[in-house]
C-alpha cells in the first residue's frame, strides 16, 4: 500500500512539473508577441544643474544592450549613458545642459528580461535658471557715484553662483578686479584703473556654466551710473572731516609707483602707490607773497635734520623739491633753543614756501618716499 502511495506522489509531481513548464513556455511565447506598458520616470525633473546627471527609473528590468542607441533628446545634446542596474539608466551631459531650458527625452521600444516588448514613451525635465541679480550698487541712474576701495561696486545675486562663471564688463572699457563672499552671492568690484570723474559707466553682467566654453556666456543683468565730480565737493572746515573727504575724493594723477599729491587749496597731502591711496595729512604751505609754486616735482635730496641758514632754524625730515633747496617738504620747524612751531598752524598757509607736516606724519613720509619720488603740487 505504501509503495503505491509513493508511486502516486511521484507521478503527481512529475505531471505538475510538466504542466508548469508548458505554462511557462506558453507565457514566454505570448509575452514575446505582446506589448506591455512600461513605466518610466525621472528621479528629478526640474532645477537640473548644468553638469548634473538625469536618472531614469524603469518599472521592469530591461535588456540593456543597444537600447540607449535609440534614445533621442531635444534640444540635441551630447550625452553619456550608463546603466546603474537593468532598471536604472543614468544620462550625463558631455559638456552641460543649457540653463533655463526644457528638455524632452524620447524613449524607444524595448524588451524586458522576460522577453516582453514595451512601447516607447516620453519624459521631460527642465534645467536650473541662471542666478538672478537682485541689486547693484551704485543703483541704476545714480549721478554722483563714488567708486573706490571703500565704496566698490556691489552686485548681489538671489542664490549661490558656484555652478557658474560670472563675468563683469564695465564700459568705457575697463577691466575689473573682484572678490566674492564664501557663498558666492555677493561680488565687490573695482575697476583696474581709477574711474574718471563725471563719466557715465555701463555695467553688464554675464554668466555661463562652470565648465562651458566662453561662447556660452549669457547676459543676466546690467546697470549704469555716473561718477561723482570732484569740483562739486563742499570741503569741511573741520580738519578731521576734511581729511575724510580727501580720502574719499582725491584721485591719483600718477598710477604707477609712489607719488605725493599736494592740494594747496585744501592744505592736504595725500600719498599714493600704484594708484592706491595710502594716507592723507594736513599741511601748511606758503603764505601770500611766498606761495608754494604749483607744478610737477620730484624729491631731489633728503636729510633727517636740515638747517636753514636763511631763517636760522632746523627743518626735520627734509625732502627738497628743487635742487637749490629753496623749498621742500619737512616737519614743523625748530629753533636752536628748542622751540618748535605748533601744530595749530596746520591747514593755514603761513610758511615761506615750504610744505610743512606735523610731528609723526613728516617722518612717515620721509621714510616712505625715496629720492626721485614724484610730487604733484596744485
In this prediction, residue 342 carries a pLDDT of: 81
State how far Cα 353 lies from the chain centre. Answer: 48
In this prediction, residue 29 carries a pLDDT of: 45
Residues 273-326: tens digit of each pLDDT: 999 999 999 999 999 999 999 999 999 999 999 999 988 999 999 999 999 999
Instruction: Report CA torsion sign: 262, 265, 267, 272.
Output: negative
Q: Distance (Å, rounded) from C-alpha 300 to C-alpha 303?
A: 11
- Cα distances from 205 to residues 6, 147, 220, 292, in angstroms, run 88, 18, 6, 47
Domain over 233-377 is classified CATH 3.40.50.300:
no
Residue 52 in grid coordinates: 548634473
Q: Do domains 35-126 and 133-230 have the same CATH topology?
A: yes
In this prediction, residue 173 carries a pLDDT of: 75
Residues 87-105: tens digit of each pLDDT: 999 999 998 999 999 999 9
Secondary structure of residue 266 in the 3-state scheme = coil
The continuous run of DSSP H or E covering 40 comes out as strand 40-42
Domain over 35-126 is classified CATH 2.60.40.3710:
yes
A 10 A CB-CB count for 321 gives 25
| Burial class of 108 by CB neighbour count within 10 A (0 to 12, 13 to 18, 19+) | middle
Q: Distance (Å, rounded) from C-alpha 132 to C-alpha 220?
A: 7
Residue spans of the chain under pLDDT 50: 20, 22-31, 33
Q: What percent of the chain has pLDDT over 70?
A: 90
- Domain-wise residue ranges, the chain: 35-126, 133-230, 233-377
In this prediction, residue 11 carries a pLDDT of: 58
In this prediction, residue 30 carries a pLDDT of: 46
- Which residue shows C-alpha cell 522577453? 115
Cβ partners under 8 Å of residue 63, min gap 6: 86, 110, 111, 112, 113
Selected from 3.40.710.10, 3.40.309.10, 2.60.40.1220, 3.40.50.150, the CATH number assigned to the domain covering 133-230 reads: 2.60.40.1220
In this prediction, residue 31 carries a pLDDT of: 46
In this prediction, residue 349 carries a pLDDT of: 94
Amino acid at each position: 500500500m505504501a509503495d503505491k502511495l509513493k508511486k502516486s506522489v511521484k507521478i503527481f509531481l512529475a505531471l505538475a512539473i510538466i504542466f508548469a513548464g508548458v505554462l511557462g513556455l506558453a507565457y514566454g511565447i505570448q509575452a514575446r508577441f505582446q506589448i506591455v506598458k512600461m513605466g518610466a520616470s525621472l528621479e528629478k525633473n526640474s532645477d537640473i544643474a548644468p553638469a548634473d546627471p538625469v536618472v531614469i527609473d524603469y518599472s521592469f528590468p530591461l535588456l540593456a544592450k543597444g537600447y540607449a542607441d535609440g534614445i533621442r533628446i531635444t534640444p540635441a545634446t551630447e550625452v553619456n549613458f550608463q546603466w546603474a542596474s537593468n532598471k536604472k539608466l543614468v544620462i550625463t551631459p558631455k559638456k552641460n545642459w543649457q540653463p533655463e531650458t526644457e528638455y524632452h527625452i524620447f524613449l524607444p521600444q524595448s524588451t524586458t528580461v522576460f522577453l516582453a516588448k514595451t512601447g516607447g514613451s516620453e519624459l521631460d525635465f527642465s534645467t536650473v535658471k541662471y542666478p538672478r541679480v537682485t541689486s547693484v550698487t551704485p543703483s541704476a541712474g545714480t549721478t554722483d557715484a563714488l567708486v573706490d576701495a571703500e565704496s566698490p561696486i556691489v552686485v548681489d545675486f538671489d542664490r549661490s553662483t558656484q555652478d557658474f562663471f560670472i563675468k563683469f564688463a564695465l564700459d568705457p572699457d575697463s577691466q575689473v578686479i573682484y572678490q566674492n563672499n564664501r557663498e558666492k552671492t555677493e561680488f565687490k568690484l573695482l575697476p583696474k584703473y581709477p574711474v574718471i570723474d563725471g563719466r557715465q559707466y555701463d555695467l553688464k553682467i554675464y554668466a555661463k556654466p562652470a565648465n562651458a566654453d566662453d561662447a556660452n556666456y549669457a547676459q543676466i543683468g546690467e546697470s549704469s551710473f555716473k561718477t561723482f565730480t570732484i569740483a562739486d565737493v563742499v570741503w569741511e572746515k573741520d580738519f578731521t572731516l576734511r581729511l575724510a573727504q580727501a580720502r574719499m575724493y582725491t584721485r591719483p594723477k600718477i598710477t604707477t609707483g609712489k607719488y605725493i599729491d599736494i592740494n594747496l587749496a585744501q592744505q592736504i597731502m595725500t600719498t599714493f602707490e600704484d594708484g592706491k591711496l595710502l594716507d592723507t595729512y594736513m599741511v601748511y604751505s606758503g603764505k601770500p607773497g611766498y606761495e608754494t609754486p604749483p607744478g610737477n616735482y620730484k624729491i631731489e635730496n633728503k636729510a633727517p635734520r636740515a638747517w636753514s641758514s636763511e631763517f636760522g632754524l632746523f627743518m626735520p625730515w627734509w625732502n627738497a623739491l628743487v635742487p637749490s633747496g629753496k623749498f621742500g617738504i619737512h616737519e614743523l620747524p625748530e629753533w636752536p633753543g628748542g622751540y618748535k612751531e605748533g601744530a595749530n598752524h596746520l591747514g593755514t598757509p603761513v610758511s615761506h614756501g615750504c610744505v610743512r607736516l606735523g610731528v609723526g606724519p613728516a617722518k612717515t613720509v620721509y621714510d616712505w618716499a625715496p629720492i626721485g619720488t614724484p610730487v604733484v603740487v596744485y
